[in-house]
Structure 1
Amino acid sequence: MIKISQRLFSTTRPILQQPLVIKNSRIAASVILTRGPQITRDATPFEQAYFDYQEKLDRHDSAVFPQDFYFKKGSVAERRWKEDVQSRDAAMKDPSVSLSAAIQRDSTTPAATTTATTPIQLADRITQADKDNDIKKLDRALQRHLYLIVKQHNQWQFPQTDLQANEYLHEAKTTAAERQLQEACGKDMDVWFVGRQPISHLKQSPSRKEDTEGLKIFFMKARMYAGQAKPNNKDVSDYAWLTKEELATYLSPDYYKAIKDSLGDL
């Protein structure tokens, strides 16, 4: 009997994973990672006019407020309340001034700041990152969706990788999209994949005549809740967080056309 040496099996090289190719097209997975709006958006002129109209209509139909029951005669609170009533009455006669704007305007006057009540200070809706146009910061464009793109192989795109022969798009724990996101942008992000099915796809023909394989990219949707991208892949040289309109200036026309309808309008 011929004895087979165990060393033969120990020196066998592992089988290398091959890209998944279907009908002469490599299959790639990409991640559309978004940071949602952090504050409510500004109202349009029509929305603001409708809100002001409803506010004045409610005040016109409201019952008389019993101020003698709630405020002590001659108190600071009573004086402040009367000032607010005068501001509202003046705004009721002026269609161009809203009740909220009238109260806010009078609360910032020198006379109002001498009272016991502290005027309301509204936070600035424009951050320092907006002023500096820092596209790497997540605290910019707080009213809008921001999307993560990376400069991969010297071109801007969403994080992307080829599927291996043993990978699937729909597997919850071992998706190629999730693997690529961690490899390219680090693990310091709290990310949730919205679904297990792609929301869009792009088919690309071979870029060179000598190439025999095309490329089909399937885009998976994900949301980011915390953290920041930290590229640690040699193929990724840069990254940016951009709005939908800004993406059009970075991505190629065909690439942007394939994914624009999958992006939020905000």
Structure 2
Amino acid sequence: MASSGRGGQAFAALLEARSTAACFQCAQARAIPFLRAATLPIQRRTYSAEAASATSATPSTQDTSPSVPAPPPVASPPDYRIRAGLLLSRPPLITSDPTPFEAAFYLYQKRLNERLTGGFRRNVYFKPDTMLALDWRLQMRHRKGTPARDIGHYHGGKGAAGFGGATAWDDEFLINDPEAAQLTNPDQLRERIISDADLRVSEDGETLAEADRVRVERPQPRYTAADEANDTQRLDRKLDRTLYLVVQALDGTWSFPAADVRTDENLHETASRALASAAGVNMNTWIVGRVPVAHVVRQVTPTKEEAFSSEKTFLLKGRIMAGQADLAKNTLGVKAFQWLTKEELALQLPKHYYTSVKNAMPAR
């Protein structure tokens, strides 16, 4: 029997199964899986409202034969627009300053370690009557016999005379002790350790004056010129915090770079395109994953061109490794950008926008 279309194929399969089965019910049981696969349309879920509209407007090509069930009706297109954006961040570059409690706890741990470890063997590290041995002797005299550089004047559990004196376990500071304030202040403690590494003895074994000491190289400051000028467009500010890129639209509102999702795009592809369209291509970035970390729902006013009453923006997480934003050739109408911390975003972003994304950003 000649047949055409999926309905004809299903009918032929039913006849073939009936000819090899013991009864009509067995033939139906064998042919049902093929009938379902041949008659039911493939369901695809679209990201954008544009694709949903195209699906609903496409005429059905299914066979309308009475023996073939009609396909299920296609849902009407949504009345919202889907957008995707990138929550691009620069991670912290240095560690954060310790809290007062952390500084006091670290000092206590240092003194406890000094008390429980063995004594420092000078003859293991220095040859007698050398420049380094003489310099070490001057440092010990300056620290009043304490080998460690950052625990203050402390005897390490040996007592005042080295025989378990009364001050052997006196390793706690009183409240408002000036020495404790110096040892727990990060800036003063850092300078204390660095200055202690300066050579105080010349190659001839003579003690050098303060101005003639051989200085070691100092590290770069933790606070940069961008911090002093409060330049929010530079990436070398707030080195101990995470910075996030936000852009300003023509109406003056701030948000993360985002764009409408096209029919042939995934969310991460739209997010990458939105970043390039808003902030240029002079950045080396990396999208961490393809799953959104936050989403924002905003009500919009329908127009003649677009009948959407709301828009949903899905934000993905990204990192910047090098480069800087450039608005010279942006195509999204962006007029300014900033790199802001989480606390600064709370003051800059709209309230409903920040409430929707704040849980996707870490405290630092």
TM-score range, shorter chain: 0.7 to 0.9
Q: Deviations over 1:90-149 (max 9, x none)?
A: 532783154993544655798566455x34523210000000111110000000000000
* 1:193 aligned partner: 287
Distance in 2, Cα, partners of 1:207 & 1:23? 15
Q: What is the alpha-carbon distance in structure 2 between the residues aligned to residue 236 and residue 152 of structure 1?
A: 5
Find the aligned partners of 2:303 and 2:280 in 1 and give their Cα distance: 36
Match for 1:159: what amino acid?
A: P
| In structure 2, C-alpha distance between the alignment counterparts of 1:74 and 1:113, rounded to whole Å | 24
Tell me the amino acid that sits aligned with residue 76 of structure 1: M
Structure 2 counterpart of 1:78: 133
For the Cα contact (< 8 Å) 2:81–2:308, is it kept in 1? no
8 A Cα contact 2:83 2:258, kept in partner: yes
Q: Say which of 309, 312, 331 aligns to 1:213.
A: 309
Shift of the 249–207 alpha-carbon distance from structure 1 to 2, 3 Å rule, reads farther
Structure 1 CA distance for aligned equivalents of residues 217 and 105 of structure 2: 24
Deviations 1:160-214 (A, max 9, x none): 10111222225xxxx1110111111111111111110111111112247986421
CA distance in 2, matches of 1:19, 1:251: 29
Change (3 A) 1:19 1:157: farther
Q: Does 1:68 align with 2:123?
A: yes
Select which of 86, 95, 101 maps to 1:40.
95
Judge conservation of contact 1:19–1:162 (CA < 8 Å) in 2: no
Q: How does 1:89-238 map to 2 (within 5 A)?
A: 89=146, 90-92=152-154, 95=173, 96=180, 98=183, 101=189, 103-104=193-194, 106=196, 111=209, 114-115=212-213, 118-119=215-216, 121-154=218-251, 155-169=253-267, 175-207=269-301, 212-231=308-327, 232-234=329-331, 235-238=333-336
Report if aligned partners of 2:301, 2:309 keep a CA contact under 8 Å in 1: no
Which residue is 2:57 aligned to? Answer: none
SS at match of 2:267: coil
Cα distance 1:212–1:28, how it changes in 2: closer, same or farther (>3 A)? closer
Q: Which has the higher strand share?
A: 1
Asked if the contact 1:84/1:103 (under 8 Å) is kept, the reply is: no
- Counterpart-to-counterpart distance in 1, 2:125 and 2:326: 57
Instruction: Kindly indicate whether the alpha-carbon contact (under 8 Å) linking 1:107 and 1:113 is maintained by their aligned counterparts in 2.
Output: no
Deviation at 1:84, TM superposition (A): 3.2
* Alignment gaps of 5+ in structure 1: 1-16
Contact 2:84/2:315, CA 8 A, preserved across alignment: yes
Structure-2 separation of matches of 1:69 and 1:24: 79
Aligned length: 245
Identity percentage of aligned residues: 33
Tell me which of the two structures has the higher relative contact order, counting C-alpha pairs closer than 8 angstroms and 6 or more residues apart. Answer: 1
CA contact (8 A) 1:247 1:256 kept: yes
Which deviations, in whole Å up to 9, do the C-alpha atoms of 1:6-48 show, x marking residues without a partner? Answer: xxxxxxxxxxx98567521000001100000011111111111
> Using a 3 Å threshold, how does the CA distance of structure 1 residues 188 and 152 change in structure 2: closer, same or farther?
same
Residue range with higher mean Cα deviation, 94-103 or 256-265 = 94-103
Q: RMSD of the alignment, in Å?
A: 2.8
Partner of 1:248: 346
Aligned to 1:9: none
- Letter of the structure 2 residue corresponding to residue 46 of structure 1: F
Q: Name the TM-score, length of structure 1 as normaliser.
A: 0.82
Change in Cα spacing, 1:73 to 1:114, as seen in structure 2 (3 Å) is farther
Larger Rg: 2
Rounded Cα–Cα distance in structure 2 between residues aligned with 1:30 and 1:212: 19
Measured in 2, the distance between the counterparts of 1:221 and 1:49 equals: 36
